[in-house]
């Protein structure tokens, strides 16, 4: 078996009387694309929030490359090498696309924000070169000087992906990376994520679009009502009756 990058063990999380996660055990292998699917309210985003330090589990542990993430802040977890693309793009809409990508690159290089990033980063040729390289990889070079807020939804999602990739994460978490995209933008995003996979980056993807899931995933975990009801290869998950009933409406995909 490949090395385990992320190990979620016995994680539980409740909100009042609602059990959002119940005894979740999950192992993410290095270099693989691991998809987490399930109906709305299954606990998928809650699980990612626990992994990146936005929520603390009631019990259980999350380890990243052998280091416990429990009690660490999102910033500390990011510095360990975990980056996340959110459902709603978190960008700087009034800054240029290039500067949006330079800010996380500089923050990763410096290791802290104990400086004025807007006053410091513009003189860094190394950071700018790195940002422009990532923008080129994602097909955003022609927009580099435009305000980020003017981009289409699909391009905003690609920009946030660029802001993560410029940090050279060891683990990339993507929360519905193609939500709201046209089929053209979705297919372009699939191609980008396939190229990232060729470089050996480990990814966890939450996604409702089964075309995206089955195009990218090496392994799939299925959540329903905060519990894992199935896991396996894409072919195994496709043929699982529990998955068809709970998530796919009893229909084959």
Do 188 and 71 share a domain, yes or no?
yes
Do 163 and 174 share a domain, yes or no?
no
Instruction: List the beta bridge partners of residue 171.
Output: 82, 202
Do 226 and 248 share a domain, yes or no?
yes
Ranked by mean pLDDT, the top range of 18-27, 182-191, 197-206, 238-247 is 18-27
Do 175 and 62 share a domain, yes or no?
yes
Which CATH number is 187's domain given? 3.40.50.300
Helix (H, G, I), strand (E, B) or coil at 143: helix
Q: What is the CB-side half-sphere exposure of residue 152 using CA atoms within 13 A?
A: 11
Report yes or no on 20 lying in a domain.
Answer: yes
Strands 4-15 and 67-68: unpaired
Domain termination residue (choose one: 149, 168, 187): 168
Do 5 and 58 share a domain, yes or no?
yes
> Under a CB-based contact definition with an 8 Å cutoff, are residues 144 and 97 in contact?
yes
Domain termination residue (choose one: 128, 144, 168): 168
| Average pLDDT, rounded, for the chain | 88
Do 12 and 133 share a domain, yes or no?
no
Query: Could you give the CA distance from residue 57 to residue 101 in angstroms, rounded to a whole number?
Result: 31
Question: Strand 18-29's sheet: what is its strand order?
Answer: 18-29, 4-15, 59-64, 67-68
pLDDT given for residue 66 in this prediction: 92
Confidence bin at 114 (pLDDT 50/70/90): very low
Do 98 and 198 share a domain, yes or no?
no
Do 198 and 250 share a domain, yes or no?
yes
Query: Could you give the CA distance from residue 33 to residue 50 in angstroms, rounded to a whole number?
Result: 19
Query: Could you give the CA distance from residue 252 to residue 115 in angstroms, rounded to a whole number?
Result: 54
Residue 73 phi/psi, 5-degree rounding, is -80, 160
Confidence bin at 180 (pLDDT 50/70/90): confident
DSSP one-letter string for 15-52: ETTEEEEEEEEEEEETT-EEEEE-STTSSHHHHHHHHT
Report yes or no on 54 lying in a domain.
Answer: yes
Q: Per-residue pLDDT for 112 more than 90?
A: no
Please give the average per-residue pLDDT across 208-221, as a whole number.
94
Query: Could you give the CA distance from residue 4 to residue 27 in angstroms, rounded to a whole number?
Result: 6
Domain termination residue (choose one: 108, 135, 168): 168
Query: Could you give the CA distance from residue 31 to residue 210 in angstroms, rounded to a whole number?
Result: 21
Report yes or no on 86 lying in a domain.
Answer: no
Report yes or no on 25 lying in a domain.
Answer: yes
What percent of the chain is predicted at pLDDT more than 90? Answer: 62
Distances from the Cα of 123 to the Cα of 22, 106, 165, angstroms = 49, 11, 21
> Under a CB-based contact definition with an 8 Å cutoff, are residues 217 and 35 in contact?
yes
Count how many domains the chain has.
2
* pTM recorded for the entire structure: 0.88
Report yes or no on 148 lying in a domain.
Answer: yes
Helix (H, G, I), strand (E, B) or coil at 231: strand
Query: Could you give the CA distance from residue 195 to residue 95 in angstroms, rounded to a whole number?
Result: 27
Domain that holds residue 111: 92-168
Do 74 and 173 share a domain, yes or no?
yes
pLDDT given for residue 251 in this prediction: 44
Confidence bin at 253 (pLDDT 50/70/90): very low
Confidence bin at 50 (pLDDT 50/70/90): very high
Report yes or no on 236 lying in a domain.
Answer: yes
Do 183 and 74 share a domain, yes or no?
yes
């Amino acid at each position: 078996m490949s090395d385990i990058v992320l190990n979620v063990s016995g994680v539980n999380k409740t909100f009042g009387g609602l059990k959002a996660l119940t005894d979740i055990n999950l192992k993410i292998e290095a270099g693989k694309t691991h998809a987490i699917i399930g109906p709305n309210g299954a606990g998928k985003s809650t699980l990612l929030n626990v992994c990146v330090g936005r929520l603390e589990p009631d019990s259980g542990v999350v380890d990243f490359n052998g280091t416990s993430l429990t009690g660490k802040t999102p910033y500390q977890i990011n510095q360990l090498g975990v980056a996340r693309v959110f459902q709603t793009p978190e960008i700087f809409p009034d800054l240029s696309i290039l500067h949006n990508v330079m800010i996380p690159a500089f923050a990763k290089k410096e290791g802290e924000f104990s400086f004025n990033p807007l006053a410091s980063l513009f003189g860094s040729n190394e950071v700018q070169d790195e940002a422009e390289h990532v923008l080129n990889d994602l097909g955003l070079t022609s927009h580099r000087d435009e305000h980020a807020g003017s981009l289409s939804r699909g391009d905003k999602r690609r920009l946030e992906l660029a802001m993560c990739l410029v940090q050279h994460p060891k683990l990339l978490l993507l929360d519905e990376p193609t939500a709201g995209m046209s089929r053209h933008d979705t297919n372009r995003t699939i191609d980008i994520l396939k190229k990232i996979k060729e470089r050996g980056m480990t990814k966890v993807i939450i996604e409702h679009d089964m075309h995206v899931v089955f195009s990218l995933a090496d392994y799939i975990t299925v959540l329903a009502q905060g519990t894992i009801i199935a896991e396996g290869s894409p072919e195994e998950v496709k043929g699982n009756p529990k998955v068809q009933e709970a998530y796919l409406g009893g229909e084959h995909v």
